[in-house]
Amino acid sequence: MDSSKWFVSLPGQVPARRRLFCFPFAGGGASFYRSWRSLIPDDIEIVLVCLPGREQRFGEPLIDTIDGMVAAIHAAIGPLTDKPYAFFGYSMGAIISHHLACKMVAEAREGDCGPEHLFLAARRSPDIAMKRAPLHGLSSEHFWQEVAKYGGTPSEILENQEYRDLFEAPLRADFKLSETAYSGDLAKLFCPITVFGGDMDTSPVPDDLEGWQKATTGGFAKHVYAGGHFFITDHQDAVIGAVADAFGD
């Protein structure tokens, strides 16, 4: 499979010792992580994970199941696993990166033992069931009302019917993937897991992050910042610093 449409390295990247793959949240695109290049050490290459149905891949067939998404990414990522790498996933991106890491360990290619570190933000641990009702099957009006509560959708979209019509299908597919993904039967990883959350987030609440330490036999760290589901908006530098410190060890 052509990996060029799935993964994009940021311009200005110098030869690096490690790669950090960054997975977007539901409705988000790879461009969310573009600012990270200037904030992270040069010896870590930022690789943007570009999912179908958004930004430069807008209009491509959507993938609304975790198995389908992980299989497609797994088929494309091989050429980029030639040096040590880690995953960073935010919300939906966290569940995708966790499932992908488990698949890569289970089906390890020669010389590849999976990611060296897993960084997960704003996602409850696999041992905790979703506490709210699913959103992906709601009527359009109620769907957008619930989406607005997360605080990450630009007002230009929420207040414009044409934009909502344009973005509803990809966003609904993302919520379906995230809400129907089952992680309870995944094998434990060996790499360290570092999790991030907001102290005012309601899905997940900070305590819902604790169970991630049971998803690995490696180390575990937890960072909680002031804010809701998109706490990273105000704490980007701190999150990137924690990632750089942990992945640079």
Please pick, among 31, 35, 38, 91, the residue that the annotation labels catalytic. 91
Interhelix angle for 92-106 vs 66-77, to 10°? Answer: 60
91 given a catalytic annotation: yes
Which amino acids are annotated catalytic?
91
